[in-house]
């Protein structure tokens, strides 16, 4: 696992939804109610860019068909039967990091 710095000198008092790259993955970074969340940027329904969506009641809403995903768990709203991948986030000062598990880490865990 590795931490990737995805934002520098960010103003965390302002809400935002941005697409960032962390270790080669497109990640949707969301600052909602002064808490930062990281989810896969690709909607599992039909691949829309979730960073073009918006937040409603602790959920990220997809801009294409309005499916909704929990910011903490990535679970789809009841009845959707899907989810988006979530990533760990840490904030150090005004810098934001996202943790990505590389395939080599998964391979090491699988072998040992």
What is the rounded distance in angstroms from the CA atom of residue 69 to the CA atom of residue 77? 6
| CB burial of residue 101 (10 Å; 0-12, 13-18, 19+) | middle
Distance CA 49, CA 61 (A): 11
Coil, helix or strand for 32? strand
Question: In this complex, which beta carbon is closest to ligand FES, that of residue 7 or of residue 28?
Answer: 28
Min dist CB 99 to ligand FES, Å, is 25
The residues of the shown chain that bind ligand FES, judged by CB under 6 A, are 43, 45-46, 48, 62, 64-65, 67
Q: Smallest distance, Å, CB 42 to ligand FES?
A: 9
Closer of 48 and 55 to ligand FES (Cβ): 48
Which C-beta is closer to ligand FES: that of 67 or that of 97?
A: 67
To ligand FES, the closest distance from the beta carbon of 82 in angstroms equals 9
From CA 7, how far away is CA 42, in angstroms rounded? 20
């Amino acid at each position: 696992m590795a931490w990737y710095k995805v934002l520098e000198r960010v103003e965390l008092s302002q809400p935002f939804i941005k697409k960032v790259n962390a270790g080669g993955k497109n990640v949707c970074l969301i600052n909602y109610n002064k808490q930062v969340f990281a989810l896969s940027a690709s909607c599992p329904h039909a691949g829309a860019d979730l960073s073009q969506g918006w937040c409603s009641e602790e959920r990220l809403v997809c801009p294409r068909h309005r499916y909704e995903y929990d910011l903490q768990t990535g679970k789809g709203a009841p009845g959707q039967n899907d989810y988006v991948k979530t990533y760990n986030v840490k904030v150090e000062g005004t810098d934001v990091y996202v943790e990505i598990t590389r395939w080599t880490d998964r391979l090491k865990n699988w072998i040992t």
